[in-house]
């Protein structure tokens, strides 16, 4: 009984600490993501530049994970991108729950992001690959799958950093550079054309209040060099041939 009371006090204290120190969450903090048992997922947690040198953590309710390999969760800081990633592998059903991305600020921590993870055999939203890449000016496509219960829910392609979303409307989205088509059965496809370097970053497929992250990497366009020496040499050889037979 005493152990139960202690655990209960600890849980309440941590919850109270989070509530007091939490920043205002973005509009996607109430979204959930689902992953199959044994599967993996990487979550980006963006923070302000002033937090670059501070320690980063990820919490599952009363459990604490830091920037080291503990169990099957790894937190990696990317200060050059003002974000840290939470890499979760070989997930088990008992790891479902509410997670907090936290920056260690003095005696209290600052919650910069929260997400609800549910580990179940039929994910609400999923993708074939969690990372895609392309060159400047190229086109990339991402196919997002959803379960049957989400056929009539709104389909969106959103960017984590600025929370900008492209919404499925009739046959296309509202942007000529991002097209969203829905097969009406179990998937929708996002087509991004005319890629720019600034398009690099983390996005997510969203259906209703369910989402799954996708990382996009855009690299510089490959330059094509033309060897003019070869053409010049061929031209000189041809002229010598003509002169010798004139």
Determine the Cα–Cα distance for residues 94 and 181; give it in Å rounded to an integer: 35
- Fold that domain 2-119 belongs to in CATH: Immunoglobulin-like (2.60.40)
Q: Give the tokens for residue 163.
A: 């929370």
Determine the average pLDDT of the residues in 61-78. 69
**Whether residue 238 has pLDDT greater than 50:** no
What residue spans define the domains of the chain? 2-119, 125-219
Question: Residue 11: which pLDDT band, with cuts at 50, 70 and 90?
Answer: very low
Could you tell me where the beta strands, DSSP code E, fall in the chain?
Answer: 32-35, 41-46, 56-60, 63-65, 73-78, 83-88, 97-105, 108-119, 125-127, 131-135, 140-146, 155-159, 165-167, 178-182, 187-192, 201-207, 210-219
Determine the Cα–Cα distance for residues 4 and 119; give it in Å rounded to an integer: 26
The residue assigned the tokens 């070869």 is 230
Domains 2-119 and 125-219 fall in the same CATH topology: yes
Please, what's the b/e burial string for 143-176 (b: 16 or more CB within 10 A of its CB; e: otherwise)? ebbbbeebeebebbbbebeeeebbebeeeebeee
**Whether residue 121 has pLDDT greater than 60:** yes
Percentage above 70 pLDDT, the chain: 71
Q: Which residue has the higher pLDDT, 153 or 239?
A: 153
- Beta-bridged to residue 101, according to DSSP, are 58, 113
Please, what's the b/e burial string for 28-63 (b: 16 or more CB within 10 A of its CB; e: otherwise)? bbebbbbbeeeeebbbbbbbeeebeebebbbbbeee
pLDDT digits (tens, 9 = 90+) for 134-174: 999 999 999 999 999 999 999 999 998 888 899 876 544 45
Q: Which residue has the higher pLDDT, 79 or 240?
A: 79
What is the residue-averaged pLDDT of the chain? Answer: 79
pLDDT digits (tens, 9 = 90+) for 42-67: 999 999 999 999 999 888 875 655 54
What is the value of pTM for the model shown? 0.75
| Domain at 125-219: CATH architecture | Sandwich (2.60)
- Residue of 13, 88, 21, 91 lying closest to 58 (CA atoms): 88
């Amino acid at each position: 009984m005493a152990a139960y009371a202690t655990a209960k006090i600890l849980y309440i204290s941590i919850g109270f600490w989070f509530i007091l120190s939490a920043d205002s969450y973005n509009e996607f903090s109430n979204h959930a993501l689902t992953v199959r048992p044994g599967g993996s997922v990487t979550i980006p947690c963006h923070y302000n530049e002033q937090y670059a040198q501070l320690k980063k953590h990820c919490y599952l309710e009363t459990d604490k994970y830091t920037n080291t390999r503990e169990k099957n969760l790894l937190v990696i800081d990317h200060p050059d991108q003002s974000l840290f990633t939470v890499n979760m592998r070989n997930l088990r059903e008992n790891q479902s729950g509410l997670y907090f991305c936290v920056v260690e600020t003095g005696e209290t921590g600052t919650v910069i992001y929260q997400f609800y993870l549910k580990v179940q055999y039929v994910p609400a939203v999923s993708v074939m690959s969690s990372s895609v890449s392309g060159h400047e000016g190229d086109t990339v496509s991402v196919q997002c799958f959803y379960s049957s219960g989400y056929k009539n829910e709104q389909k969106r392609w959103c960017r984590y950093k600025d929370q900008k979303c492209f919404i499925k409307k009739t046959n296309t989205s509202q942007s000529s550079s991002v097209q969203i088509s829905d097969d009406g059965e179990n998937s929708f496809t996002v087509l991004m054309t005319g890629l720019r370097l600034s398009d690099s970053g983390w996005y997510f497929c969203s259906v209703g209040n369910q989402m799954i992250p996708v990382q996009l990497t855009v690299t510089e366009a490959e330059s094509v060099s033309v060897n003019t020496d070869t053409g010049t040499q061929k031209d000189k050889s041809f002229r010598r041939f003509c002169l010798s037979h004139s």
